[in-house]
Structure 1
Amino acid sequence: MGETPVLRAAVRSDVPRIGALMRRSVLELFPRFHDERETASAAEHLTVPDVVLVDDGTYYVHEHAGEVVACGGWSVRDKLYTGSGARPGEDRLLDPATEPARVRAMFVRGDRARRGLGRALLGECERAARAAGFRSLVLVATLPGVPLYRAFGFREVARVPVPLPDGTVLAGVSMEYPLT
């Protein structure tokens, strides 16, 4: 595959490539954990890039040869995942002294999985959230991401349903990671 992909902050012009990567990642990796209906629903509802993360400067991409091959980030806002539907107050800024930052929208191209890209993205999220004063990170993982988060040191809090707008419900795992 050549050189190591470059990790950098995402910019607005990356958004179409991020969306394409998200969809490709779901279609390549979800079938190992989810049935055809769940995969199709996730490909539609979980693959819409959240430009707020890009604008906040908390979303990152791994780029190689002009392609986005992995992406992910963290949020200072009160939204756990894309596809959860709009909730009042989800754009509210979190209080780093009392609330955890959210890890959001982690995706990797299937042929780049298990090569350290997700770990590097999480490391950048950890560094930046700690620098912003946060004391912990939380996330709701879909099943393909659970092994990465566990290996990084996230602890399972609870098994949770991940309802999507079309009524499909994915299995999910609520996880946390201390920054102190």
Structure 2
Amino acid sequence: MEAVLRLAVSADGPAIAKLARASVLDLFPAYYDAEQTASAADHITTLDLALIEDGTYYVHEADGEVVSCGGWSRRNKLFNASTAGADERLLDPATEPARIRAMFVRSDWTRRGLGRAILTACADAAKAEGFTRLALMATLPGVPLYRAFGFTEVETVELPMPDGVLLGGVAMERPIDEENAP
């Protein structure tokens, strides 16, 4: 069965939320303890509807089910649980990077190129709007994908969740180039 990439629509919201939570609960225990995994499932899986409304969020659908999702943002928010410095301000493509956001995959669909396809779609769309760089805040399970796509580590950080739990994260960036791959 093949997964088809398309822009997300509002009606996808419940399926995206279910996928994101399941992805965290299935994939995070290899990188985080039980308390961190539970906190992440509660706080980083909340769908930011602005991504869908802005037309910058994608899903892969297979046999009527959403099996991966992710997108980019032209707004000043780096990740779902972030509030410090986040706002609805539009980023300046000439001086600020577009933000890769809310990437999740169903555990039985990992390692099939879905994440790379979403990242390529994001890079192409951001480039079409004049952005020259991409930035993201990676949780540890996503770091290998982002490195393989040409992102480099800016800094390792502790991400404070609203409940006080800290998650290890990695701020990463890469230029948008012609090929969208290293």
Q: TM-score range by the shorter chain?
A: over 0.9
1:91 CA displacement: 0.6
Label 1:16 to 1:164 Cα distance change in 2 as closer, same or farther (>3 A).
same
TM, length-normalised to structure 2:
0.95
State the distance in 1 between where 2:139 and 2:38 align. 14
Label 1:89 to 1:149 Cα distance change in 2 as closer, same or farther (>3 A).
closer
Q: Secondary structure at the match of 2:79?
A: coil
Q: Cα RMSD (Å) of the superposition? A: 0.9
Q: Secondary structure at the match of 2:20?
A: helix
The answer on whether the counterparts of 2:160 and 2:166 sit within 8 Å (CA) in structure 1 is: yes
State the distance in 2 between where 1:68 and 1:79 align. 24
Q: Which of 169, 174, 177 in structure 2 is aligned with 1:177?
A: 174
1:55 is matched with which residue? 53
Does 1:139 find its partner at 2:147? no
Once the two structures are superposed, residues 45-72 of structure 1 have per-residue CA deviations (whole angstroms, 9 ceiling, x without a partner) of: 0111100000000000001111100000
1:104 CA displacement: 0.2
2:180 is matched with which residue? none
2:63 is matched with which residue? 65
State the distance in 1 between where 2:86 and 2:101 align. 17
Matches within 5 A, 1:1-20: 2=1, 4-20=2-18
State the distance in 1 between where 2:26 and 2:4 align. 22
Label 1:48 to 1:124 Cα distance change in 2 as closer, same or farther (>3 A).
same
Q: Secondary structure at the match of 2:92?
A: coil
1:91 is matched with which residue? 88
Q: What is the aligned residue count? A: 177
Query: Aligned residues: percent identity?
Result: 61
Q: Secondary structure at the match of 1:83?
A: coil
State the distance in 1 between where 2:159 and 2:112 align. 27
The answer on whether the counterparts of 2:155 and 2:170 sit within 8 Å (CA) in structure 1 is: yes
1:89 CA displacement: 5.4
Q: Secondary structure at the match of 1:18?
A: helix
1:84 CA displacement: 1.5
Once the two structures are superposed, residues 90-117 of structure 1 have per-residue CA deviations (whole angstroms, 9 ceiling, x without a partner) of: 1100010111000000000001111100
Matches within 5 A, 1:105-124: 105-124=102-121
Structure 1, unaligned runs of 5 or more: none
Q: Secondary structure at the match of 2:21?
A: helix
State the distance in 2 between where 1:102 and 1:137 align. 6
State the distance in 2 between where 1:49 and 1:158 align. 25
State the distance in 2 between where 1:89 and 1:144 align. 24
TM, length-normalised to structure 1:
0.96
State the distance in 2 between where 1:173 and 1:88 align. 18
